[in-house]
Structure 1
Amino acid sequence: MNSAFWDGLAAGYHWQLSLITAVGIAAVTFAGKLLVQLVPTFRAAKRLNRETYAQKMENPRYAANLRWNRKWGVFYWVVIFAGILPFCLTAEAQPVWQVLLDCFVILMVYDFFYYLVHRFLFHDAGFLGGPLMWVHAVHHRQHNPCREDSSYIHPLEVAMGLGLYVACIFVLSRFMGDFHVATIVITWVAFTEINLHNHDLWTVDRFPFKYLNTMSAMHHNHHARFTGGNFATISLLYDWMFGTLDYGQGYKGAEYAPKAKKAPGGVGAA
C-alpha cells in the first residue's frame, strides 16, 4: 500500500478534536438540562414524562429494548467519534454566521434524506412499498409516546438514523470543508434534543411554548397510527413541501384503511 496514502489519511485524522467534540456535547447537554429545570413548564413536562417512562419500564420487553439500544449506542459512539468525525473537524477560527449556516445546512440536509427514508422505507407510503416497515414497527408500538420512547426502536434503526446524520456531516465536509467543533456540538445536541422533544408528552400551548407544543403534537399524530404523516424530524418543512402534514386526520392522498391480508388460498381477506 502506498505510504503517501496512509500519511495523507493520518494528516487528516484529528482524534483530539473528536474527543473535544464528544466532551463538548456531554457538557452542553448537561448544562442545558440544568438550565431548563429553572423553567416551571419544563419541570412539569419532565415530571410527566418520567412518570410515564417509569410505568413503561415495568414491561420487561420495553425495558429489554432500551437496555439493548444503550449497549449498541456505546458501540455506535465509538465508531462515529473514532472512525468518522476525526476526518471532518477543524478548530480554525470561523465567524459566527458560518457556524450557524453550517448548522442549518447539516440539519436540513439530514432532515431531507431522513424524510425520504422514513416515508418510503419505514412506511408503506410510496412506490417502494416500505421494505423496512418491520424494523420501524418496533418504534410504532408506542402509540402515545413519552420522551424516552425516542430510544424504543430496533437497533438497526438506531444505526440507520445515526449513520444518516453522520454520513451527511462527512459528505458535506468534503464539499464545504471541515466543520468547526462548535458546529458539530450544536448540531448533535439539536439533533438529539429535537428527537427527544418530538416524543415528549407536552401539554402547554401558549407563548413562548407554542412551537414546542406543535412539534410534539404533530409527531404524536404520526405515532397514533402507522399510516400517519409528518415524516420529517427536525422541522415540518419537507412535510409541508411534499403534502404530508398530518394534523390528526391524515394527509391528502394517504390510504388509512389497512391493506387486505391474503388468505391461505391467496384470496384477499376482508
Structure 2
Amino acid sequence: MSWGERFIAFDAPTVMAVGVAWFTLLYALTGGIAALLWQRLLPSLGYGRRLDPRPLPAGQLRRELWASASSILVFGLGLVVPWGLLRLGWARLAVEPSPWQIAIEIVVLFLWNELHFYLNHRLLHTRPLRRFHAMHHRSHVPTPWSTYAFHPVEAAMLGSVPLLPMLAHDFSFAALMTLPVLSIVLNNLGHGNYEASADAPARGWRAASRRHHLHHACYHGNYGFLLDVFDRLAGSTIPLNAADARITAAKSKQEAR
C-alpha cells in the first residue's frame, strides 16, 4: 500500500491528529533552522545583513508562538478537507507517477502557490478582511516565528491552496506533501529579516526577504511571496528606500531613551 493509499484509509480523527503533528513539526523545525541561520550563523560569518535593526517589542515572540499554534490547528484539522475530497472521489491521486511527473507537479504547485498567496494577500488588505490580517502585521519586524502567526480566518484562506489544483488534476501524493514544506521554507526566507547576499540590495530569489521586510514595515505593497512578478504587473511594488525614514526615526527614539 502506497503512502497516498494509507492516507486515504485513515479515519477523520487520525487525519486531523497527523495533520496537527505534521504542521507542528514543520513550524518548529524550519523556524529553528531559520533562526539559527539568520540570527547566528550568517552574521558570525559576516555574510549578508539584518534588514530592520529595530528591537522586537516585549512579548512579540510569545504572541507569535500562540498565534502560530492556532494556525497549526487550522492547518492540521483542515487536512480533513483534502482527505474528504479523496474519500468522496471528487479528487484522486496519481497512480505510480514517474519522477518527472512529480517534479513537474511540484513546479506547477509552486507557481499556483505564488498566485494563490498573492490573490489572498490582496484580499486580506481590503477593508472587509484587513482586521483579520492585522494580527500578522503586529510584527513590524518579522521573525522566523512570524511564518504562521495568523488569525484563524487568514490561516483558513491560505491553507486552502491545494484544493482547486486537486479538483483539476490527479496529483501525486509526494507533490502534494511537498507543497507545505516548500511554502514554509519560502515563508522563512521572507520573514527572516535577513538578506543572505553579498550585494545590497540582493537580486533574484534572495531579494524576497527584503521585499517582505518592506511589506511588514510599510504595510501596503509587495504582496507577493517569493516572486515579484504579480507586484510588478499590478504596480504594487514598494520602493527599496520606503522604510528608511521610519526605521531611522525609531532608532533615534530608542537611542534618546
Is this a same-fold pair by TM over 0.5? yes
| Equivalent residues in 2 for 1:1-270, closer than 5 Å | 14-15=8-9, 43-44=41-42, 56=56, 58-59=58-59, 63-64=62-63, 66-80=65-79, 82-85=80-83, 87=86, 88=91, 90=93, 92-119=95-122, 121-124=123-126, 130-163=127-160, 165=161, 169-177=162-170, 179-206=171-198, 211-227=204-220, 229-249=221-241
For 1:73 and 1:15, the matched residues in 2 are separated by 23
Counterparts in 2 of 1:112 and 1:85: CA distance versus 1, 3 Å = same
Give the letter aligned to residue 117 of structure 2: Y
Contact 2:27 2:184 in 1 (8 A): no
Deviation at 1:84, TM superposition (A): 1.7
Give the letter aligned to residue 75 of structure 2: Y
Contact 1:91 1:180 in 2 (8 A): yes
For 1:156 and 1:31, the matched residues in 2 are separated by 24
Contact 2:114 2:226 in 1 (8 A): yes
Structure 1 counterpart SS, 2:194 = coil
Give the letter aligned to residue 152 of structure 1: A
For 1:98 and 1:24, the matched residues in 2 are separated by 24
For 2:22 and 2:131, the matched residues in 1 are separated by 36
For 1:25 and 1:69, the matched residues in 2 are separated by 10
Counterparts in 2 of 1:29 and 1:73: CA distance versus 1, 3 Å = closer
Structure 1 counterpart SS, 2:147 = helix
For 1:212 and 1:123, the matched residues in 2 are separated by 24
Structure 2 counterpart SS, 1:76 = helix
Counterparts in 2 of 1:42 and 1:58: CA distance versus 1, 3 Å = closer
Q: Larger RCO: Structure 1 or Structure 2 (Cα < 8 Å, ≥ 6 residues apart)?
A: 2
**Equivalent pairs, count:** 219
Unpaired runs of at least 5, structure 2: 243-257
Counterparts in 2 of 1:242 and 1:172: CA distance versus 1, 3 Å = same
